[in-house]
Amino acid sequence: MENPAGRKTLMKFTERYAELFNRLLPSPFTIAVLLTALTFILAFFFTGGDKNPGTHFIDLVGYWENGLWDRGLMVFAFQMMLMLILGHALALTKPVSTLINYTLQFCTTTARAAFLVTFFTILVALFNWGLGLIFGAIFARKVAEYAHRVNMPLNYPLIGAAVYSGLMVWHGGVSGSSLVKAAEPNHIREMMSGIYSPNEVALLPGAIGFDQTVFSG
């Protein structure tokens, strides 16, 4: 038999833990800035040898700038942003909303709802990771609204966890980062040029298309 007092105590502990976590955990941008500063400080004090500190500092700033505005990195970052933005826009379209609303009638229990959210999120994430992420979140919210409307008991934390199932498989789909980069002409050769000899690099494929990765069977 379930202990209401114990459940209430556990919920309070969970809420306090989540609140403390949200207060102390920096935002992703703050973490990026802190890691950049830490890396810069470590590089300044542990590299450079006998260089003049001022010259070494300027050199490190130049390295940081060149790395930040690296052409390949900028192209990759733009690809990732485009996938997320287009996925978000597609998830908010009327056809997708119609599909979600139609599927809600089959969410009669928490188990069925979790299965459907997981299944469709994984399916969509294989097509586009940004779409899968936004689609899953919208689907979970719709399930919660439907459960409240029909007075159906629902374990919403489980439904929320099901949303992240798409992150387990998206890298094997057509929007997978490594697969997209491998499909770029000469990317593999350029990446390995500093590791292999010119003769070995010449033996590498110019690109690995989706027919050899995603759709290879």
Most confident segment among 27-31, 148-152, 177-181: 148-152
**Alpha helix locations (H) across 47-109?**
53-68, 71-91, 94-103
**Largest Cα–Cα distance of the chain, in whole Å?**
73
- Pair of tokens at residue 198: 């010119």
Q: How many CB atoms lie within 10 A of CB 49?
A: 5
Q: What share of the chain has pLDDT > 90, as a percent?
A: 31
Residue 1: per-residue pLDDT? 47
* The pLDDT of residue 121 is above 90: yes
Domain borders along the chain are: 1-69, 71-182, 183-212
Which residue type is seen at 115? F
CA distance 141 to 154: 12
Residue 58: per-residue pLDDT? 92
- What does the pLDDT average to over 190-202? 84
- Pair of tokens at residue 114: 């979790």
Are 101 and 142 within 8 A, CB to CB? yes
Question: Where does the pLDDT of residue 216 fall: very low under 50, low under 70, confident under 90, or very high at 90 and above?
Answer: low
CA distance 94 to 128: 18
CA distance 90 to 22: 30
Pick 121 or 176 by higher pLDDT. 121
Q: How many CB atoms lie within 10 A of CB 182?
A: 18
Which residue type is seen at 201? V
Per-state percent for the chain, helix, strand, coil, to nearest 5: 75, 0, 25
Q: Please name the residues in contact with 100: beta carbons below 8 A apart, sequence gap of 6 or more.
A: 138, 139, 142
- What does the pLDDT average to over 167-174? 82
- Pair of tokens at residue 123: 């399916």
Mean pLDDT, the chain, rounded, equals 85
Question: Where does the pLDDT of residue 181 fall: very low under 50, low under 70, confident under 90, or very high at 90 and above?
Answer: confident
pLDDT in tens, 16-66: 877 887 788 888 889 989 999 999 999 999 887 788 888 999 999 999 998
Q: How many CB atoms lie within 10 A of CB 190?
A: 13
Are 154 and 110 within 8 A, CB to CB? yes
- What does the pLDDT average to over 11-16? 76
Are 74 and 117 within 8 A, CB to CB? no
